[in-house]
Chain A
Amino acid sequence: MRTPLFVVSLFTFGRVAATAFGFNPEQYDFFESKIRPVLAESCYDCHNSVNKKKAGLALDYRDAILAGSENGSVIEPGNPEDSPLIWAIRHEDTEMPADGPKLSDAVIKDFENWIAMGAPDPRDKKPTQLDLDNAVSWETLLEKRRQWWSFQPLERVRPPRVEDTEWNQSPIDRFILPAFDEKGLTPQAKAEPGTLVRRLHLILTGLPPSADTVKRFIADPSEDAYQQIVDDLLASDAFGERWGRHWMDWYRYADSHGSEGDPDLPYASAYRDYIIRALNDDVPYDQLIREHIAGDLIRKPRLNQQLGINESAIGPAHFRMIPHGFGVTDAYQEQIVNTENQIDVISKAILGVTVSCARCHNHKFDPISQADFYRLYGVMISNRPGTRNIDTLEKQNLNKRDLEKIKRRIRSSIADYWMANLDKAMENLAAFDFQVTEEEAALIADLKKRANRRKKTLPEDPTALERLYLKQELQQVGEYHPLAPLAFWAEKSDQELTEAWKQQLANYEQELLEVEAAKHDATYYADLRDQKTLDSWYVEGNGPGPKVSPAGVFAVATEGVRAIAGIYPAGVYSHLLSDKHNGTLASPYHTAEGDWSYMRAIGKNGAIRMSARNYPLEQGLHPYTLANNGFMQWFPLQKYKFWNDDRVHYQISTAADKPVKHLEGRSWFGVTEVVGGDAEIKELGTPLFTVLDNEPRIAGKASLLEAYRQGLKESIVAWKRGRSTDAQAQYLSAFVRYNLLPNRIDSLPATLAPLIAGYRALESAIPFPTRAPALLEGDVIDQPLLVRGEYKKAAEPVRRQFLEVFDSRPYSPRHSGRLELAEDIISSENTLKSRVIVNRLWHYVFGKGIVSTTDNFGRLGKEPTHPELLDYLALDFEKQDWSIKTALRQMVLSRAFRSGSGATEASEELDPNNEYLSYFQPRRLEAESIMDSVSSMAGEDFQRAVYAKTKRNQLDPFLAAFNLPIPTTTNGVRDSTNVPAQALTMLNSDFTKNAAKDWARRTLEERPNASAQSLIESLYWEAYARRPSESEFAKLTSYYKSIEDTDTAVERIAFALLNSKEFIYVY
């Protein structure tokens, strides 16, 4: 059945000079320019002769194409109408390309012409894999794909001239009206005033209007009155609660991470409240986008003086709303998934394109390369998940300077006081009974358990408590605690004591060498007593300063009976002024190598961890350790060996800043060193001799006590002068913390007591930080491109930058690039962002976007029904200072918005999807709006649904029944399904039953002794913003009369109205 080629070509194109195959160069050019690129881009993937030959068909060289598929020939050269290939691309028979959009009519025509020519095809050799890979260069595809409408610059088009006086007031209407004539559509008349008021309220605030508001407008339905309602609604708090909920859909807002245990994301609601405030304040959209990407980094943040917070810094919180996997064994794989989610959300929400599609290969249809994905990937992973103090700097630094001043005076005075009490201290020491009683032993054992598992009550008497804590500390620190000789050698004779001292000295020297060797041989070592090290770490919060603190720094006790909380060796501390201050201190990355790692730390609920690939949650392979100690200690970091060869970092933070399972309240930490390697490190503590200048002769208990006295004296003197050694600081701290040196507030002399009281007064004025989920900047990483998305196949690192279709300047190597990304996104080069947002607004106002696929403006999305209007709105939006309220105001003031919601038969016939807006699109309300409507009938005080916690694994069942999605990614169009579960919920749930009861009771209270007619009318005004029709009235009256008592009758009618469709529709 196949006609020989040359016959066809001679027959069809006999008038042109023929080549060997009967084709001339122009015909081959035609193939090269029109046919080959399409075959390569749209067909080779599935139909090639190298790795995939679907249906036995390869289209990648001449002989293959002529050989056809397992079902026979696919082209009949010279005869397009008989060529199955043509049928397929026309979607007449099968539909090809299978996974892509239909080819354009022009391309189909090219194929028809090509076959009519006789299918000239110079591809005479079977291609190799390399040939296929290079079949179409990315540059060619990029150039072609950027021609898609949404990547084209916005066009400034003047609204058409329109004569109709109703439709020529707003540019929106002037763009809409002409299509009516073209399509033969007649727009609906304006809706009734009551309907319009209700429509405005539901769309702008998500709540039905009060009967009074409705009646007022019906009495005066003037343009001024209409505009006044619009302005009032836009100015109401309810506006932000309504539109904030839409916004939350775009950023997959959630209060938990999902998966096993569904752990909470602390402070997620800060983001929700931020969005609601921002929309109510009409913060310009470009500013909000800037804040969403890099609000924590912008130079002039938006401050909220009333709340005392930096609003802008909350913006990036959405990056933390990732659905996380649980206790992952492969942290890199998890990070890829997380990062893909972050990229997916910002690219869909802001740009309306799916960059995450390009993880494994260049985008199939859009001008987005695989490199683009890894460009953004680098920007994302150059940050770490964390918690941020969002207070204004003023609030963060409140009283800091005054506290510092007082502290200097405290140090000097209390040093003198202690010096004067040296004898007392020695008496206390000599008299201290180090024997651990049975009860104390039991308490110490109990303290080892997690806080929520402890069974015993600690003694209330501060002296008893101190005794207990000292004995606990001695057990923890062991023989090298400065007081260990007194505690552990009490039974020794003088001679034994002398021996033990010598032995300890020798052991210590040996072990010190071992520890030093371990540090030397470590695969990772960080000395945070060294400013250079700290400079390479990452610090967040108002607690830890940028400088390493010298030995002898101390903290004033902010509560309790003690004056001084502790005196510390050199290091980094979060609480030197207040343990309400917060902080997160994190190391650069390194590759875990070796069996052990440790952080030398101190603190109160100081949350220590080693994190693999920034995984933030806390589970078996990802443990946190809480530092609760008064004496610097090495904390082993569990699972170091497990995570060998992976990218890890160390971190310590105040307990409320833990990104999961956070603990509120006072918390602090201090750190001196971190080490990772093969050696197990022994706790070396601060034995007595480390504070003594000359090696003393210890010949018994008396000389031992004398050595203590000597050490103490020297430690106090050095401390007063600010010249403590680490050992002296720890040594002195032991005397102070256990009140061996007098440290009780109530015993302080008159010179000191007011200083401490003054300090505490200033400290108590410091607020606990306001926090939000955040990204904290970390090491800057250019992510290697992963070949075919497989993470074990890393190619070259890709420099961070914006999508190449818009900009190809690489970002600075000094920062993550979030700031640059934010500016690139809102720059004029980006053709998507304003189109996407005005289209989103349009969607919620008119029921469907001008681009109906609000989250996809790419090749697989729908094209705009009114492209010129869309560009007009987008440009106008930017001109009006990116004001969402202005844009919405313009939309709801349009004539198109005010049309009635009935449809003529003609419009249903000619425009079944109402794309041209000849009537207002009636539609079911969103879940939250239904819930709020029901609640508002029951009474005025209720919490709006937007404030319900969004636990991914336990969505509110009412909201879920009405299509609240489980938040995983951007969702710009809520489903509006119609399932019996909804009817069951409305019919049988206590929520609606009780609302009907409350509504009925309220109605009866407001209208005592009212007639049935008056009661029914009242319910109608509230539910529907209208009077009942005569037939409705007749039905309801007879229903009313069929029920014996009035209360029940009103309740039943209220119930029926809540269950009616009109109640849950905006129309």
Chain B
Amino acid sequence: MSIEPLNRREFLRLTSKGIGGLALSSLINSASAKSGYLPQPHHPARAKSVIFLYMSGGVSHVDSFDPKPMLRELHGKPMPMHVERTQFDDVGNILGSFWDSKPYGKSGIELTNLFPHIAQQVDKLTVVRSMTAKFSEHAQGNFFMHTGFPFLGYPSAGAWVNYGLGTENPNLPGFVVLQSAGSKTPHGGVSLFGNAFLPATTQGSIFNISGDRAVPHIEPGMMKQEQRQALDLINSLDLGFADRVAAKDAIASSVENAETAYLMQEAVPELTNISGESEKTLEMYGVNDPIAQMDEYARQCLMARRLVERGVRFVELSCCSHGIGGGGGGNPWDQHGDIQKGHGTMAKQVDQPIAALLEDLDQRGLLDETLVVFTGEFGRNPFSQSSFSKDIGRDHNPQGFSLWMAGGGAKRGHVYGATDEFGYHAVEEISNVYELWATVLHLMGIDHEKLTFQYGGRNLRLSDVHGRVWKDIIA
């Protein structure tokens, strides 16, 4: 009962009614999208798109969305309970948060002032405070969070969503990963965004929006007129070839791809050109902020909105590094030392842009159909990492951490689950990544148990053999 695209041959038969008769469109890694083929969802969808705000490196939940006054009270004392193995095998004393907390918004959800702008939007959020992961190392954590498995070889959630729903806009890939000059692919590498065994059309396309070449080889290799002529010649050679061999549809479809590629050379720069956005909008997001990383992240947030507006199913954003306390290019939130400065700087980078994105989506009526997810691969420990940089950093904590969702059918101003009073272990509604994706798929109209792909003798799923929907967080 998997949602399977039509048999490829049938599908091509449907789509290639002769080269001339087809509308040419621009898309990057998607051939099948052309048909406008959309599988039927399992049930009515609440969300059409996902914006995945990935906080690579691991945000400290006890300093942000799950404040714990107990840590300040017991600051400097040893943990009064069994301490799990840590990545750096370097366990210090309890570390009180550097950030003050109080209730925000009408919902009165207690947050710290690490993300003051997002805190103002708290009434749009569902905060899940009982996330857990199985891995306390970045690459495995990243794979786990993206694919449900701790290593490469499995499709990214964005690929699954596109496999399940197809793209709404044949002119753009259905899964876009935004990067900037200051951001790098999280540890684990590009296969975090890969399609693995799913069709290649579902894979994440990386748009590096800092330069004028968001996509590799997007810059034409010759003058436009010359390229047109060459392409016309190539097309006519190909049509002749298609007449001679029993691969007409495949050849025809690849001729279309060449045309698509040709048009993309203009379409992508058009997409990434934000000169039409109002000064007010740019300012709200923080575009052109003097802090380069914040400017870049603001542009990513704005681009995410533009992509969602154009029907892209899944957009993942990438934070930029400030290189503080261990937070390198691939894992900018990873403050083993100097977390005050590191988290402070990182939060400054993303806070205003994300708040603006929520506000902007809401104002445009897009938030209801766009699910925004904010998470890292794990949280951070309530105690310090003793020998790293003067006791003021935190090692990884997969036993309990927070994520939040907004829009797309998630409750507004809601808290789900809880950690213990140290923020160390999740203790109520203990949650995991299978449940996260089961819930995301559910909100998109997909039953996570039915979205399967047969590979290597098994029907594989994003939620593996686990998962349940967080019914309590659905509005």
Q: A interface vs B, CB < 8 Å? A: 94-95, 98-99, 258-262, 323, 325-330, 333, 337, 344, 348, 353-354, 357, 360, 363-366, 620-621, 639, 642, 855-856, 858, 860-861, 901-903, 908, 912-914, 919, 921-924, 952-954, 957, 963, 966, 968-969, 975-985, 987-989, 993, 1029, 1031-1032, 1035-1036, 1039, 1042, 1052, 1055-1057, 1059-1062, 1065, 1067
Return chain B residues, CB-CB under 8 Å to A963: 200
- The residue on B at minimum CB distance from A953 is B189
- The residue on B at minimum CB distance from A989 is B217
User: Is B456 in the interface zone, CB < 8 Å from A?
Assistant: yes
Q: List 24 A-B contacts (CB under 8 A).
A: A98-B1, A99-B459, A258-B151, A259-B187, A323-B151, A326-B140, A329-B135, A364-B458, A620-B89, A642-B89, A860-B458, A902-B246, A977-B201, A979-B28, A979-B29, A979-B31, A983-B262, A984-B216, A984-B264, A988-B220, A1042-B229, A1056-B233, A1062-B238, A1067-B244
List B residues 170-190 near A (Cβ within 8 Å): 187-190
User: Is B302 in the interface zone, CB < 8 Å from A?
Assistant: no
Given A258-B151, A987-B227; A982-B457 close (CB under 8 Å): no
Q: How far is the CA of A1062 from the CA of B234 in the complex (A)?
A: 10
Contact yes or no, B28 A980, CB < 8 A: yes
List 18 extra interface pairs beyond A326-B137, A952-B191, CB under 8 A: A258-B188, A259-B152, A260-B188, A325-B135, A337-B151, A966-B191, A966-B194, A976-B250, A977-B31, A980-B264, A981-B205, A982-B254, A983-B257, A987-B261, A988-B218, A1060-B241, A1061-B251, A1062-B241
The 4 closest A-B pairs by CB, nearest first: A953-B189, A968-B153, A903-B246, A983-B261
List B residues 248-296 near A (Cβ within 8 Å): 250-251, 253-255, 257-258, 260-262, 264-265
Contact yes or no, B138 A861, CB < 8 A: no
User: Is B108 in the interface zone, CB < 8 Å from A?
Assistant: no
Choose among A919, A924, A981 the residue that contacts B246 (Cβ–Cβ < 8 A). Answer: A919
Choose among B230, B233, B234, B456 the residue that contacts A348 (Cβ–Cβ < 8 A). Answer: B456
* Closest Cβ–Cβ distance, residue A772 to chain B (whole Å): 24
Contact yes or no, B457 A354, CB < 8 A: yes
- The residue on B at minimum CB distance from A1058 is B234
User: Is B370 in the interface zone, CB < 8 Å from A?
Assistant: no
- The residue on B at minimum CB distance from A981 is B29
* Closest Cβ–Cβ distance, residue B435 to chain A (whole Å): 18
Return chain B residues, CB-CB under 8 Å to A975: 199-200
User: Is B247 in the interface zone, CB < 8 Å from A?
Assistant: yes
Q: How far is the CA of A360 from the CA of B464 in the complex (A)?
A: 13
* Closest Cβ–Cβ distance, residue A895 to chain B (whole Å): 18
Contact yes or no, A1039 B89, CB < 8 A: no
- The residue on A at minimum CB distance from B246 is A903
Contact yes or no, B221 A993, CB < 8 A: yes
Contact yes or no, A1065 B245, CB < 8 A: yes
Complex interface: stretch among B80-88, B123-131, B314-322 = B80-88
Q: How far is the CA of A328 from the CA of B86 in the complex (A)?
A: 10
Return chain A residues, CB-CB under 8 Å to B240: 1029, 1031-1032
Contact yes or no, A259 B151, CB < 8 A: yes
* Closest Cβ–Cβ distance, residue B37 to chain A (whole Å): 15
Contact yes or no, B257 A325, CB < 8 A: no
Q: How far is the CA of A957 from the CA of B215 in the complex (A)?
A: 12
Contact yes or no, A1061 B187, CB < 8 A: no
Return chain A residues, CB-CB under 8 Å to B244: 901-902, 1067
Q: B194-208 toward A: CB 8 Å interface, digit per residue (1/0)?
A: 101001110001000
* Closest Cβ–Cβ distance, residue A96 to chain B (whole Å): 9
Q: How large is the interface on B (under 10, 10 to 19, 20 to 34, 35 or more residues)?
A: 35 or more
Contact yes or no, A260 B187, CB < 8 A: yes
Contact yes or no, B238 A1060, CB < 8 A: yes
Contact yes or no, A980 B230, CB < 8 A: no
Contact yes or no, A957 B230, CB < 8 A: no
Return chain A residues, CB-CB under 8 Å to B260: 980, 983
Return chain B residues, CB-CB under 8 Å to A639: 89
Contact yes or no, B9 A913, CB < 8 A: yes
Contact yes or no, B194 A858, CB < 8 A: no
Q: How far is the CA of A688 from the CA of B397 in the complex (A)?
A: 53
* Closest Cβ–Cβ distance, residue B409 to chain A (whole Å): 24
Return chain A residues, CB-CB under 8 Å to B27: 980
Return chain B residues, CB-CB under 8 Å to A621: 87, 89
* Closest Cβ–Cβ distance, residue B217 to chain A (whole Å): 4
Q: How far is the CA of A337 from the CA of B260 in the complex (A)?
A: 41
Contact yes or no, B229 A923, CB < 8 A: no
* Closest Cβ–Cβ distance, residue A346 to chain B (whole Å): 14
Choose among B234, B250, B264 the residue that contacts A1056 (Cβ–Cβ < 8 A). Answer: B234
User: Is B381 in the interface zone, CB < 8 Å from A?
Assistant: no
- The residue on A at minimum CB distance from B263 is A980
Return chain B residues, CB-CB under 8 Å to A348: 456
Contact yes or no, B189 A325, CB < 8 A: no
User: Is B219 in the interface zone, CB < 8 Å from A?
Assistant: yes
Contact yes or no, A855 B456, CB < 8 A: yes
Q: B334-366 toward A: CB 8 Å interface, digit per residue (1/0)?
A: 000000000000000000000000000000000
Return chain B residues, CB-CB under 8 Å to A856: 456-457
* Closest Cβ–Cβ distance, residue A202 to chain B (whole Å): 14
Contact yes or no, A357 B457, CB < 8 A: yes
Choose among A913, A924, A1056 the residue that contacts B230 (Cβ–Cβ < 8 A). Answer: A1056
Contact yes or no, A924 B234, CB < 8 A: no
Choose among A328, A353, A1067 the residue that contacts B245 (Cβ–Cβ < 8 A). Answer: A1067
Contact yes or no, A922 B31, CB < 8 A: no
User: Is B300 in the interface zone, CB < 8 Å from A?
Assistant: no
- The residue on A at minimum CB distance from B220 is A988
- The residue on B at minimum CB distance from A986 is B258
- The residue on B at minimum CB distance from A328 is B137
Q: How far is the CA of A1067 from the CA of B251 in the complex (A)?
A: 12
Q: How far is the CA of A1025 from the CA of B136 in the complex (A)?
A: 57
User: Is B237 in the interface zone, CB < 8 Å from A?
Assistant: yes
Q: How far is the CA of A922 from the CA of B251 in the complex (A)?
A: 10
Contact yes or no, B137 A260, CB < 8 A: yes
Q: How far is the CA of A856 from the CA of B241 in the complex (A)?
A: 34
User: Is B156 in the interface zone, CB < 8 Å from A?
Assistant: no
* Closest Cβ–Cβ distance, residue B146 to chain A (whole Å): 13
Return chain A residues, CB-CB under 8 Å to B372: none
User: Is B452 in the interface zone, CB < 8 Å from A?
Assistant: yes
User: Is B236 in the interface zone, CB < 8 Å from A?
Assistant: yes
* Closest Cβ–Cβ distance, residue A642 to chain B (whole Å): 5
Return chain A residues, CB-CB under 8 Å to B234: 1056, 1059-1060
Return chain A residues, CB-CB under 8 Å to B458: 354, 357, 364, 860
Contact yes or no, A1061 B257, CB < 8 A: no
User: Is B139 in the interface zone, CB < 8 Å from A?
Assistant: yes
Q: B443-474 toward A: CB 8 Å interface, digit per residue (1/0)?
A: 00000000010101111000001000000000
Contact yes or no, A642 B139, CB < 8 A: no
Contact yes or no, A861 B457, CB < 8 A: yes
User: Is B30 in the interface zone, CB < 8 Å from A?
Assistant: yes
Q: How far is the CA of A1029 from the CA of B330 in the complex (A)?
A: 54
Contact yes or no, A968 B237, CB < 8 A: no
Return chain A residues, CB-CB under 8 Å to B245: 901-902, 922, 1065, 1067
Choose among B86, B199, B229 the residue that contacts A1039 (Cβ–Cβ < 8 A). Answer: B229
User: Is B150 in the interface zone, CB < 8 Å from A?
Assistant: yes
Contact yes or no, B246 A326, CB < 8 A: no
Q: How far is the CA of A968 from the CA of B1 in the complex (A)?
A: 27
Choose among B89, B139, B215 the residue that contacts A259 (Cβ–Cβ < 8 A). Answer: B139
Q: How far is the CA of A1031 from the CA of B237 in the complex (A)?
A: 10
Return chain A residues, CB-CB under 8 Å to B191: 258, 952-953, 966
Return chain A residues, CB-CB under 8 Å to B262: 983, 987
Choose among A922, A977, A987, A1039 the residue that contacts B217 (Cβ–Cβ < 8 A). Answer: A987
- The residue on B at minimum CB distance from A901 is B245
* Closest Cβ–Cβ distance, residue A758 to chain B (whole Å): 52
Return chain B residues, CB-CB under 8 Å to A261: 187
Contact yes or no, B140 A325, CB < 8 A: yes
Choose among A325, A364, A921, A982 the residue that contacts B139 (Cβ–Cβ < 8 A). Answer: A325
Return chain B residues, CB-CB under 8 Å to A364: 458
Q: How far is the CA of A642 from the CA of B245 in the complex (A)?
A: 64
Return chain B residues, CB-CB under 8 Å to A1056: 230, 233-234, 237
* Closest Cβ–Cβ distance, residue A925 to chain B (whole Å): 12
